[in-house]
Amino acid sequence: MAKTLTRPAAAAALLAALAVTVPTTASAAPVTAPATATSCYGGAVTVDYGDALEFGPYTTTSRCTDINLRMVGGDAEFVWACVKFTRVGECNRWTKVGRSWKTIATDVLDGSRFTVPLGVDLEGSSARVQIAF
């Protein structure tokens, strides 16, 4: 009569045949993230359209390589946003932004100073946005 192996027994037999050892207890120390680390989005600033039409100036950090924006409140369906770098003085391009994170400037050097002009979809609409940089 042929012997039938269960899956764990078959796996153990295969490992034994391959001369592979498996530790019975984990001995690695747990890996913990530094408490001071802040993600790109975790360092976002929140501003309200209507308090101003252009926000900043801000200075980019090593926390993000891009400048990102999203709506988090208000009655507007979307906002138009651009990045105006201080050294250039003009908007890079206008980008339509909704309630998901959207990149409004890419590959930005650390230490770059900028402002973020905003516009809403309808005159009189309100918007609360977060800017991550």
- At 12 the pLDDT is 47
Give yes or no for a contact between 44 and 131, defined as CB atoms under 8 angstroms apart.
yes
- At 92 the pLDDT is 93
The two tokens of residue 82 are: 């651009």
What is the value of pTM for the model shown? 0.70
- pLDDT tens digits in sequence order for the chain, 133 residues long: 444 444 555 444 444 444 444 444 444 444 444 444 568 999 999 999 988 899 999 999 999 999 999 999 999 999 999 999 999 999 999 999 999 999 999 999 999 999 999 999 888 999 999 999 9
- At 15 the pLDDT is 41
* Burial (Cβ within 10 Å: 0-12, 13-18, ≥19) of residue 129: buried
- At 7 the pLDDT is 52
